[in-house]
Amino acid sequence: MTTSIRSSRSLRSDITYAFAIALALYVAWILRKVLVLLYVSALFAVVLQPLVQFIANLRIGRFHPFRRVAIFILLLFVVGGLVTFGFLALPPVIRDLQEFGKEMPQRLPVIMERLRHVPLANRINVSDLSDQIQSFAGESATYLLLSIKTWASSLFTIAMGLILTIYFTLEGDVAYRWLLSLIPARSRARLDQTLRRAEVRMGRWLIGQGSLMLILGLTSTVVYASLHIRYASALGVLTGLLNIVPVLGAALCIVLALLAAAVDSWGRVLGVAIFYVTYLWLENSFLTPRIMKSSVGLPGLSIIVALLLGGALAGAIGALVSVPTAVLVAELVDEYLVSKEPAAA
């Protein structure tokens, strides 16, 4: 009788536990966007930790910035850099766009004359193309007006991500200790040591990503300047900055560079296309695996697989955090799943 009561209680406990797990998974699926935002913010706080610590350890005379001051200095440096870049790069572009709009009726026949030298382009009718351009401009304006809500939501998400990253940087230790308190005491120390090792490796990811951004920014600036493309310096800086977003950042830079080159000559368009095809092959097959391997200690194949999986699961954001996430997963797998040989006596 006692055995049957115990088995009945055990069965009820198992059923309750299964329902609780199912309910937790359902709630997590509903809140998946919020959970992704929290995870990305916490991950960036961990990645930026070495940089914040470096600024906090600086001494300028008697001035020694504390942690909060270091975060403010880093944020001020980033915002100031972006604002300075906008003030320097945008006025020439806006001025040229205004002049191009005024000269469009006179320049369109010249553009069509160049297009006739392209195969199958001689079938294009100038008047039909002009009407299509005007129709496209009207549709684009309507689309922009209708997508204001989407843009506002995206800006709000970015702002909340920035605020959460700052709070995680300031109070991340409190949240970390609270999460560790949920782990049984006998397993807590081991997990803490594993996560600390992963934190060190994840912090080095920023060095590798910064190296890739610097290499692309310098090489693209040199190529743009040698091809005499408009806004070569601004495009080079923007190309380097947007390289922090894998795939999507490179695609946007390609479009902007090709548009700037197409204003002057098709030869420059061909030069930009050749440069990007060559560089993307070199970066994906050589630079990214080698630099990330030396920075975070992951094999090149695992880095490429992580980028593919991150992009497939969460788009540009997933690709952006794929390498630090792969470092975390690799450290946990190495600690808990990989069978290790016993140490020699």
Distance separating alpha carbons of residues 129 and 167, to the nearest angstrom:
52
pLDDT band at 9 (very low <50, low <70, confident <90, very high): low
The type of residue at 152 is A
Taking the complete model, does pTM exceed 0.85, yes or no?
A: no
Burial of 193 from C-beta contacts in 10 A (0-12 / 13-18 / 19+): exposed
Residue 263, helix vs strand vs coil: coil
Query: Look-up: residue for tokens 């913010």?
Result: 41
Length of the chain measured in residues: 345
Q: Which residues contact 82 (CB under 8 A, 6 or more apart)?
A: none
DSSP assignment letter at 257? H
Q: What is the pLDDT of residue 6?
A: 59
Cα 265 to Cα 99: distance, rounded to the nearest angstrom: 18
Contact 204, 295 (CB under 8 A): yes
pLDDT at 96: 66
pLDDT at 119: 54
What's the mean pLDDT when you consider all of the chain?
Answer: 76
The CB density around residue 272, as the number of other CB atoms within 10 Å, is: 25
Residue listed under structure tokens 């609270």: 178
In this predicted model, what pLDDT tens digit does every residue of 239-273 receive, in sequence order? Answer: 888 887 766 677 788 888 888 887 777 788 888 88
Query: What pLDDT score was predicted for residue 19?
Result: 82
CB 243 within 8 A of CB 216: yes
d(CA 1, CA 7): 10
| Per-residue pLDDT, 129 | 53
The mean pLDDT of 223-248, rounded to a whole number, is 82
Q: pLDDT: is 175 or 246 the higher one?
A: 175
Query: What's the one-letter identity of residue 148?
Result: I
Bridge partners (DSSP) of residue 60 are 63
